[in-house]
Each structure stands twice: as structure tokens, then as C-alpha cells.
Chains A and B, each alone.
Chain A
């Protein structure tokens, strides 16, 4: 055991090296299979897709020099100087291989759906068509032609997502199931390489000297010698000058402030909400009951008193207040629908619901098992009981069991969250379309479906924004969900560490263009 490695400083200006901690071990660094945040974060530093985000967070050329998105498809012209970390050139075939592998039912990738705008992708994933029917082909080594299943005006944004990253057939086939399970079982085309992966303990990224844009990369080493999901432990590491960035929570924030650290906010763009089960056998199928509940759950009380974390915002719409589209902040142009929070009115709705339903059985409130989720749930339970006399039963489940139960419809109200996958409001908007597998409350509304379809296929800015506005109103009127809060991260960052980009998409936080001020 090397004592020295444990005592590395948080940042080193001389070596341009930084030390960080990871919340968990990445379950997979196979870009076609990864689904989690940590994987996405690491891959965004190790790999590069056709398109990437620049230092300001704008869409910028990645492996593709330029591209063109049409009604029926898209073309990408690849740069010729892009290399893998073993020196091989990055070609259009790498993309074709990766995308086919991602939709291959045998790969069983859980993010295969993000490739469904590509022609035949969904059918292939269902095992109905051969892989070769996927609507993508390489024209020579440096041109990629994509055919769409249906119009997809935001396809270029999708290609920045990790499932769209290229892959090397020879490497994947050499390692088989063990591909990307260790540092030496994968290759990289991004700004960093994975130099070390001691499972559960230590990961180390080093600058990729073969990366095409290597001049723009200043950090030489990003070291992760600590893996802990305990934010207090992370914060303590930060205090000891062991790591350069640490998330804060309610417990550690005060201490950080007391020490005069600059606490920073970062909007995750994630929406948390209560979802109602609309299956007909459930009491929550009743609109009056849903409205009664809506009228007593004023999000600001939850946010300011219960969650008590600065920066977290009460949510009032399906679309997070910071969501931008076409250069505008959506919520400013299209303000969220107003809701009258009123206990008396709520009781009236409840009386109506009782007339329609008869006796209301205790409602099952399905929640996660994280500390915050539990606090939140106990708050809802308390309010519904106090204000409406509604009994609720908490069903606290681990993440997987909660999702399973939601899918099976074993809940009345479920606490859920949704983060954007790519930079377009449709990533929220299509959530409650009747065909969406993630619409776990089985909300079915023909009007809603048609507005979603319009927003998905239209290329016209105004039409799409209108559609999104309609969607947020339907959600509110029909009380499909009760938006509760928009999550915000709070963190402290080493003062010498500069240029870290907090990003909603493409892996967060992003150290690609970061440096250490000497």
C-alpha cells in the first residue's frame, strides 16, 4: 500500500493534475450499454461523438467536421485527423458498428431507444429485422449517411449522447463480454485515456496524446482515488485538500459557508414530480381526487422547509424553468399554468371525489429509499392526512424495485424524476405520450398525443413551442403529474481549478477544458 498516493493534493498547478472522488464505481464503460451518470461522466472525457459541446456548452463539431440534418435523414462529414488512443484512425465504420451493436437485441442495451429515430432501429431492437437494415451507412471512411424513421429535427443533438459514440469492432470482439471492464480492455478517441481502473477503489484519467484537439486540453491527469457516495465523506476529503470538487448537501453546506468556501449552484435541469396512476381500477383515476391533492401540495413549502437546500426551485411545469429552446428560456415565453393552492377548495374537490368514488381506500405512495426521498414522502403523507384526511401508505423501495412496481402499476402516487437526455424540450414532452414506455401512470389523452406528434415531427420553431406550451397545460389541467421541484446541485470547487463546465448534457461536470491556475 502506497502511503503517498493517499496524500496527493487536490490540485497541482505544476503537473496540471487534479484529484476527485467518484460517487460510485461505473457499472459499465461500454458506451453502448452504459446508462448511468458516472458512466456518462467518464465516457464524456474518454470518448467523442460526431458532435460535442464546446467550452461554453454550445454544440460544436466533434469527430464530424460538419453535418446536415434533413427531413428524411442526415449526413456527417468526418475529420480525417481523428485517432483512437492506439493510433488507428476514427472512421465512419466505427459509428456504423457501434450503432448497430447498440440496437442489437443481444446487446440488450437499455438506451437503444435513443437510436430509434434512425430507420428500422426499433424493429431491429425487437428482433424483427436484421442488423444490416439499420438506416446508417458509411460512404467511404469519412462520410456517414443516416436515414430517419420519421422526421427528427434535433438529431444532431442526439449524436452527442454516449450511446452514439463510435466503437472499434476489433476491440469489442477481442474482449467479448469483458469489453470495457478494465482499463486495458478498451480504446479511446476522446481527450483522455483511462490509465488505471482498480475496481471499487481507484480510476485515473490521463491526457490522450493522440486526441485530434489535444492542443485545447490543458489538464494532464484526472485522478479518482476515492469512491464514495457519502457526501459528508466527500466534503471532508475536500476540506482536507484531497479532492478539488465536492458536492454539498444540507448537512455540509453550513460548514462550508462557515469556512468561507464559495458554495456554487448548478442547475441539473432535472424535474421531480408526483405521478398518478391512471389505470381505471385506481382511485387516482378520478380527476377530482387528483385535483384535490394538487391543490394542497404547494411545492414551495416542500422546497423551502423540507428540502431546505439553497437553489432548489419549486417546480410548476413539466418543463424545467431553465429549459432553453431556440435561444430562449421556455418558461419566460410560456409561463407555467397557474394553480390555486387552497385547502378549502381542495376539500371541495375531495368531497366531489368521494361522491364519485365512494369510500377512498388508503393511497399507496411509492417512493425511493434515499434519505431525501423519504423525507419528502413523509411530508406528502403528513400534508394529505392533515389537510384532506387522506390516508396514505408509504411504499419505500430501492430504485429498481420502485421502477418495477411503477411499471406494473402497483402504486397510486409515485415520486419520480426525469432528467433530459438531450438538448430539446421533447425529452420531457413525449414522456406522457400514450406510447411511451416511461409513461408508467398510463395517462392516455388523444390531445396530448397529437401535440407530441406535432412537436416531434415539425421542424418549425413556432409550431413546436406552441405544442410544448399546450403539453404543459394539459399536464396541469389533467393533473397527470404534480411537479414538485427542480433539482439543483451545490458544490465547492478548488479556487485554483478553472474552466469546469457544469452541463446538462454530455456528462457532468466537464473537465475537458479545465485547467489549474498556478
Chain B
């Protein structure tokens, strides 16, 4: 399984933190101009996965992977300085809460200009000018004045636009958006999502969208990866995963999915809690909550099964042996 045309390709990514094996053997492929949604409940390891793609993990985190290729380059041996060159310039990130993602004591425009100064090598004045232009492009009226404001003076939606402006300032090839709309009002959410999609199309930018909102996934992504307890349990084409979810977890997610406007926590939707990751898990991590769990699920980890073209699932249900048994 290789994807030479991939913008980013990660194989067998493992992250542990504080004795907990939080991301386990994750494979990811993102293509330019494409949106991959990483779905999972909180604590499933999706944010860590995203941070690892920029090497922004906490110091105490241990990371290993078979390979990480970005634009055809292996990043595995990159030094911190090289990573810094990569960040914001080629890979950028948007965080969940725009109110806290901005430095409260620095003007918004300045924070955007900072990126430009650093990577585009322009003068401070030019950077400020470009920052205003960026804000304007992202649909902020009176951008010049807004750029001089402090974060606490702006609304959430406006701030998230500013954060996006900061992220795309250097026209990165890959944008990672970690729950970019969770902290926003529903109406603002829609605007931001539209904006992100437009940007992807315009700049042929890859987008890794992290969310637990399946509604958002359906509107944005071409591909989806469902994560549970540090593992990708199902990956595939958006329409297939949505129409015929292969993994019981995905199925549960789909059932729990409310109407588009209603916010609900996935945690509450599925009975039970995720397993304790500080101990090794013998079988399928979802087994304890799985309505279709079998004895083997508790004992042995399932392999990756191709359930349909462009759709993979890690579930014993798809084992040929079981098909035979039943």
C-alpha cells in the first residue's frame, strides 16, 4: 500500500505519553487539495496525531513511526530547526479555541505579521500590510482597524478568521485544523467551514480536519479516518463510510449522529467508556462497548480488512474465518 502522489504519508505512528500508549500504529495519507477528516471522541488520540505531524508534541511524549513522508521528503530525521522551517510555511495548524489560541497581550495584526516576518522574510511594515490584506481576503470588513485590536476585543468568529489568516499566511501545502468550529456559534461555524473549503480548492491545499462532529465531516471531507482509543478503526471514502459503515464503532457513531444543528457529545451517545490506555490491551479496544463483540475480540487484535473498495476496517466481523464460521 503506497501512495507516491500523497502530500503526506505516515506509517505505523505510535505515541505514548506518561506511560499511556495513546496513538497506536496509525497510518495516514493525505493528498493535495483533498480533505481528510479524522474523527473520534475526545481522548481518542486524534489531536496528538495532528500535533505529531508538526512535531509539537509535549516534551515528555515518545514518538515512533515507520516513516513520515511529506512532499516526497522523509521528515523522520528532521532536526528541530528544520521542523521550524516547515511549520507555518508548509504545514500550518488551526486550533480549537480562537480565544485562547491568540496571545492576549499582542495585537491581532501583529500576530499575523509575525509569521510573515519569520518565513516570508518581508519587512515589518510590509508584513503588517499583508496581514491586513489577508484579513480582508478572509472577509473581515474594516480589516486595517481590526488588525490593531487585541484578541479580547474581537468576536469568536472574527478571531477564528484571524487564526486562519495566520495559518494560511505562507500558503502552506497542508493545513491541520483541530476542531476549528467547536468553540463557535452554529452560524459562524458554517461560514468558517465554507472558508476552509474554498481555501483548499483555491490553493490546492491538503486539509487534515480533526473533529468529532460527523455533520462537519460529511460537508467537508473526501476521506475519513475514524479513530478509537489511539487506533484507526475504519478509513475510507466519505460516502462509503457514511453509507455503509463497516466497524461497529462507526456504526454507533452514525446512529448517535444528531441533526446537523444539534451539538452532542459522542461520549454520551455510546454506552461505556474508552479503555484505560496505560495497560496493554489484548484484543479490540472497542470490545467492551461493542454490541456485536465476540470472544475473540477480547483476546486478539483484529487485522485491517478491506471491506469494500476504498474502505478499510479493523474488526473481526470482517475476518474471513468468521464468515466461514457463520
User: So, do A and B actually touch in the complex, CB under 8 Å?
Assistant: no
Question: Which residues from chain A sit less than 8 Å from chain B, CB to CB?
Answer: none
- Write the residues of chain B forming the contact surface with A, with a CB cutoff of 8 angstroms: none
